[in-house]
Structure 1
Amino acid sequence: MKYRFLRDNLTIALVLFSLFACHRKRVLREKEIVKDVRQLSEVIPENIAERLEYIVDNEDVMEDSVPALRGGALTYFYQQTSNNPVWSSEGVLDPQADSLLFYVSHADESGLNPAIYHNAALAQAMKRLKEDDAARKDAALWAQVDVLMTDAFMKMASHLRFGIAPRDSITLRRDSVYSDTLLANYLTTALHQHIVGATLRSQEPQQKGYEQLKSAWINFKGKYSEMKWDSLPVSYTDTPAFRQQLINRLAQSGHLDTSGGHGADTAILKKGIRAFQKEFNMYEDGQAGKKTVQALNKTFRDWSAQVAVNMDRWRKLPDTLPERFIMVNVPGYRMELWDSGSVALTSKIIVGAPRTRTPLLNSRMTNFIMYPYWRVPFSITIKEMLPAIKRDRAYLAKKSLEIIDRDGNAINPDSVNWSRMSKNYFPYVLRQMDGLENSLGIMKFNFMNKYAVYLHDTNNRGLFSNAYRALSHGCVRVQQWDSLAMYLTKGDARHPRDSMRMWLANGNKKQIDIQRSVPIYLRYFTAEGRDGRIVFHEDIYGEDKVLRKIMGM
């Protein structure tokens, strides 16, 4: 019995030792100094091979503790070079390395984090090579630099092309990853033709919206990246002490000039608050309310991350968009109709409230209806209208609602036993009759989607003057609905403009089929570039927070 106990424990110990030995991290040579730089070509390949094995053993984490794009991609590339270095020769760095290092150190201008492209390790290595004669003869250091640069190129090319966040349901790119072979070919060609920088630039989205955002971000970075500012208390009252903190904060970011000693003056303080609110696209009331204080407390890193997630969203669009398309920016409360590379029509919009979000989707607009009925969604019927009807039967007439049975017939409300109606039993549909009081207004624009949402006019047009317009049940209300309808039928002989105007004036109920269906994209951009400056939008659905977590921003 004692022998069996000892034998079993010995077996367990051997298994544990074996597992430990298999997963033990490979120890890399810290340095290997050669007598003459011409000997580097003989020794560097061994050091590169050692590093490739280390990456495999270390589950793709590299020696600077930063994960590689794919260890397999690195191994494949260096198999083509017999583990010879590609970024240096006999102790001299290839000029293309400077292009890569510039792109890495300025990765944030493309919405990427320089740290994940080995910026710190490469900067430290460059410093050693510049200042230390012995370092230039260190085969281990040159091998480290070579493998780090190769991974930086591959990773950056992939991220610039496809983004960091994974492919989602509205991604329009057909591919979402570069193969090892393609990455190796890209790098080989870039080095041989001396076009490393140009190759990386070509991976970025070519869309005008992306280019405008990037340009505006570089301007913003130039203005604010070196600034430091204090945080304001989250819970506060309007006391002299808080006002002084507010004055100091606005002065630190250049929104309030205190050089004349008038910063505490109420009118001057309001002017400073309005200047901040205007720059950050907020309601300009001159008051330090909750949202304004939250924005004042954002750090430069917060603004940087907001831009980064929006650049990543652009990378989910295709290289080329159609000649004519509609872009709906949900948090921007803005619709744009693009034609031949420029914006032909813009409109304020109202979108879904956070509890009833407007979905993000891709579709094609096929037709629009003048003076439409509104078939009330079941959720609205049960949650909002049924309780109101039970309290007051006159609610149906006030809202111009008809009750439609399963056969499509309108029935008398008095024939319904309303006390029996509930979410578990409601064999009818509520339909709001057409007219000026209809919730859809005069026009409804249809496009295929599984959410039963559409663009439409509204009978409550005063809401377009609100700064916060996440107010609907999910559909998108369009202020310039008439201009949109006219543009969609421009050049269509079947629907002359005069006839359209007459039909509208007479209240004719008509379905207008669009001659060429128009692609429509419902998207979520909380940062845009406009006239060289960034326009920030509120993260109304919390989508930025989710994406920041995924991207590690």
Structure 2
Amino acid sequence: MNYRFLRDNLLIVIVLSSLFACHRKRVLREREIVGDVRQLSEVIPENITERLEYIADNQDVMEDSVPAISSAVLNYFYQQSNNNPVWSSEGVLDGQADSMFYYIMHADEAGLRPADYHSAALERAITQVRDDAAAKKDATLWAQIDVMMTDAFMKMVTDLRFGTGPRDSITLRKDSVYSDTLLTNYLTSALHQHIIGPTLRAQEPQYQGYQLLKSAWTNFKGKYSLMKWDSLPLSYTDTSAFRQQLINRLVQSGHLDTSGGHSADTALMKKGIKAFQQEFNMYEDGQAGKKTLQALNKSFADWEAQVAVNMDRWRKLPDSLPQRFIMVNVPGYRMDLWDSNMVVVTSKVIVGAPRTRTPLLNSRMTNFVMYPYWRVPYSIAIKEMLPAIKKDRGYLAKKNLEVINGNGDAVDPGSIDWNKLNKNYFPYVLRQMDGLENSLGIMKFNFMNKYSVYLHDTNSRGLFGNSYRALSHGCVRVQQWDSLSMYLTKGDTRHPRDSMRKWLANGEKKQIDIQRGVPIYFRYFSAEGRDGRLVFHEDIYGEDKVLRKQMKR
């Protein structure tokens, strides 16, 4: 007999057995019924210990398949109480457990998902201990409730403060996690002082914009959460059949009333479409066009997700912003200048088209220029202007453009062989002279950024009347440029208002340095709250779609 062979194989069996034993998932006991509820305090700690070990062995996933915040912080918290329960006593839930359970079941009102906080498992377990006499004496069930409640509190505190979406290059909040000690202190204090609700609410953004969005979302949810509606085809040939489908869809969401013998004629149907378009912030033409049909086909869950991603964007801001700042909401086509918690200047804006997006950024406005030159960006000069110049040499004069060489000198356009120029060889800069026809208009507002974008007036002011205003090459055109410039120099004795008016009237080219640089933020809020109702904006750049995927919404 080959004893060496047997010995080696026996060693392999022992090693493999050890490995399998190490990776075998710990099994939780199903029930542990005590004779009297007063005995629960003796048995629950052992069950809590078992659950904490289970979570650690199961890669921080709890028994309901929902990830825990971390086994480390849960262990740290329970070490402070010797693994005793903190949410119940002798078979009775503490009042703070009721508060916690309420916030879990209503997490969606803050843009969070109840399922992330063990809502289903907790609802089952709490129902059992309340309705079933035997379950009331089950130590395993009370341990499950305790650990899940603790985990839910810690996760919700974290998510309400920092959000569930990823941090990005414009996230202003410097911190991103709470320490184990701080989470433990939060929960301990909240339980002892009976302030679970206030503690959770204190984590949410206190900005007016967030609070208005949250309030409007609650109203929207109350109106639409229980409604069901049919989907409509985006393309159709049978006009009569489609008309009936459209009527049914508008009736289902309460935008059309055909009761009381009212026939849904064309005029009434158009009125219903307009009612829907008005509520969902769309161009009110009464026509079931592509964008309107897409909006009609959105489910309640789609609208809910759009609100959730925008709540998350508010959580990426710090606890407070400067006293004075400019906020540009790109999909909302609006600029607001805030001063001392009030909007002092507001304006419609035109932003970058989807192919030439306005970037999201943080910066500080330092100056503005009256009657500026426009140095045409290279991409525009090559892609748009060079082909036009090759077709028509008079294009430069029509657009008030001059050609500047590498030395900064103006060059006679007639001396250039334009047919030899292309994207690989273009040793010039095109500069549009100042004046009313300048693409930048009368004023340009400067702030440092790597994208070479700025705020400016425009010579195409009629475009501010459009409902869709994603039309620029990336810079932001401001309708109320005059009000903005006057407020930025308010109280600045170097630039009296009378002098500013005089310079503008005379067409003088001036650079005005702002006495105190003003922080400026470009953000992407596609849902807002106004007067208790939600205002949705089109996801012009697909940013919502990306964030929904990252947040698994």
Q: Quick check: TM above 0.5? A: yes
Match of 1:514 in 2: 514
Residue 103 (1) aligns with residue 100 (2) = no
Residue 167 (1) aligns with residue 155 (2) = no
Letter matched to residue 75 of structure 2: T
1:102 partner SS: helix
**1:374-405 per-position Cα deviation (integer Å, ceiling 9, x unaligned):** 11111111111122222222211111111112
Match of 2:281 in 1: 281
**1:87-106 per-position Cα deviation (integer Å, ceiling 9, x unaligned):** 11111111111111111111
C-alpha distance in structure 2 between counterparts of 1:32 and 1:133, whole Å = 14
Tell whether the 8 Å contact from 1:256 to 1:263 is kept in structure 2 after alignment: no
C-alpha distance in structure 2 between counterparts of 1:435 and 1:483, whole Å = 20
Structure 1 residues 280 and 4, CA gap change in structure 2 (3 angstroms): farther
C-alpha distance in structure 1 between counterparts of 2:9 and 2:269, whole Å = 76
Worse-superposed segment, 157-166 or 11-20: 11-20
Worse-superposed segment, 15-24 or 365-374: 15-24
C-alpha distance in structure 2 between counterparts of 1:288 and 1:90, whole Å = 62
**1:45-68 per-position Cα deviation (integer Å, ceiling 9, x unaligned):** 111111111111111100111001
Tell whether the 8 Å contact from 1:247 to 1:263 is kept in structure 2 after alignment: no
Letter matched to residue 253 of structure 1: S
Structure 1 residues 127 and 502, CA gap change in structure 2 (3 angstroms): same
Letter matched to residue 126 of structure 2: M
C-alpha distance in structure 2 between counterparts of 1:247 and 1:10, whole Å = 76
2:343 partner SS: strand
Letter matched to residue 175 of structure 2: D
Match of 2:181 in 1: 181
Letter matched to residue 119 of structure 1: S
Question: Structure 1 residue 21: deviation in Å?
Answer: 2.3
Question: Structure 1 residue 17: deviation in Å?
Answer: 4.0
Question: Structure 1 residue 261: deviation in Å?
Answer: 3.2
Worse-superposed segment, 321-330 or 421-430: 421-430
Give matches, 1:252-331, under 5 Å: 252-331=252-331
Match of 2:386 in 1: 386
Worse-superposed segment, 54-63 or 334-343: 334-343
Question: Structure 1 residue 11: deviation in Å?
Answer: 6.4
C-alpha distance in structure 1 between counterparts of 2:60 and 2:201, whole Å = 26
Aligned Cα root-mean-square deviation (Å): 1.7
Match of 1:495 in 2: 495
Question: Structure 1 residue 3: deviation in Å?
Answer: 9.5
C-alpha distance in structure 2 between counterparts of 1:34 and 1:375, whole Å = 82
Match of 2:49 in 1: 49
**1:195-229 per-position Cα deviation (integer Å, ceiling 9, x unaligned):** 11110000000001000000000011111111111
Tell whether the 8 Å contact from 1:263 to 1:269 is kept in structure 2 after alignment: no
Structure 2 segments unaligned to the other structure (5+ residues): none
C-alpha distance in structure 1 between counterparts of 2:400 and 2:303, whole Å = 47
Residue 122 (1) aligns with residue 119 (2) = no
Tell whether the 8 Å contact from 1:405 to 1:411 is kept in structure 2 after alignment: yes
Match of 1:84 in 2: 84
C-alpha distance in structure 2 between counterparts of 1:172 and 1:264, whole Å = 52
Question: Structure 1 residue 444: deviation in Å?
Answer: 0.4
Match of 1:211 in 2: 211
**1:85-126 per-position Cα deviation (integer Å, ceiling 9, x unaligned):** 111111111111111111111100000000000011111111
Letter matched to residue 445 of structure 2: F
Tell whether the 8 Å contact from 1:335 to 1:347 is kept in structure 2 after alignment: yes
C-alpha distance in structure 2 between counterparts of 1:311 and 1:100, whole Å = 21
C-alpha distance in structure 2 between counterparts of 1:397 and 1:11, whole Å = 90
Match of 1:364 in 2: 364
Match of 1:38 in 2: 38
Tell whether the 8 Å contact from 1:445 to 1:454 is kept in structure 2 after alignment: yes
**1:459-515 per-position Cα deviation (integer Å, ceiling 9, x unaligned):** 111111111111111000011111111111122222222221111111111011111
**1:405-461 per-position Cα deviation (integer Å, ceiling 9, x unaligned):** 222111112233323322222222111111111110111011111111000011111
Structure 1 residues 192 and 234, CA gap change in structure 2 (3 angstroms): same
Match of 1:547 in 2: 547
**1:510-530 per-position Cα deviation (integer Å, ceiling 9, x unaligned):** 011111211111000000001
Match of 1:201 in 2: 201
C-alpha distance in structure 1 between counterparts of 2:202 and 2:16, whole Å = 50
Letter matched to residue 544 of structure 1: D
C-alpha distance in structure 2 between counterparts of 1:277 and 1:535, whole Å = 11
**What TM-score comes out, normalization by structure 1 length?**
0.97
Question: Structure 1 residue 4: deviation in Å?
Answer: 9.3
Residue 353 (1) aligns with residue 353 (2) = yes
2:402 partner SS: strand
1:355 partner SS: helix
Question: Structure 1 residue 174: deviation in Å?
Answer: 1.3
Match of 1:534 in 2: 534
Aligned residue pairs: how many?
Answer: 553
C-alpha distance in structure 1 between counterparts of 2:513 and 2:16, whole Å = 72
Match of 2:395 in 1: 395
Match of 1:62 in 2: 62
**1:327-357 per-position Cα deviation (integer Å, ceiling 9, x unaligned):** 1000001111112112112111110011111
C-alpha distance in structure 2 between counterparts of 1:375 and 1:158, whole Å = 47
Structure 1 residues 9 and 459, CA gap change in structure 2 (3 angstroms): farther
Structure 1 residues 469 and 142, CA gap change in structure 2 (3 angstroms): same
C-alpha distance in structure 2 between counterparts of 1:123 and 1:336, whole Å = 44
C-alpha distance in structure 2 between counterparts of 1:12 and 1:382, whole Å = 70
Worse-superposed segment, 113-122 or 7-16: 7-16
Letter matched to residue 360 of structure 1: L
Structure 1 segments unaligned to the other structure (5+ residues): none
Give matches, 1:215-254, under 5 Å: 215-237=215-237, 239-254=239-254
2:515 partner SS: strand
Letter matched to residue 546 of structure 1: V
Residue 432 (1) aligns with residue 432 (2) = yes
Worse-superposed segment, 130-139 or 11-20: 11-20
2:534 partner SS: strand
C-alpha distance in structure 2 between counterparts of 1:486 and 1:154, whole Å = 48
Structure 1 residues 81 and 535, CA gap change in structure 2 (3 angstroms): same
C-alpha distance in structure 1 between counterparts of 2:14 and 2:471, whole Å = 66
C-alpha distance in structure 2 between counterparts of 1:292 and 1:4, whole Å = 79
1:407 partner SS: coil
2:356 partner SS: coil
Tell whether the 8 Å contact from 1:325 to 1:518 is kept in structure 2 after alignment: yes
C-alpha distance in structure 1 between counterparts of 2:539 and 2:6, whole Å = 64
Tell whether the 8 Å contact from 1:91 to 1:137 is kept in structure 2 after alignment: yes
Letter matched to residue 144 of structure 1: Q
2:63 partner SS: coil
Tell whether the 8 Å contact from 1:372 to 1:442 is kept in structure 2 after alignment: yes
Letter matched to residue 153 of structure 2: F
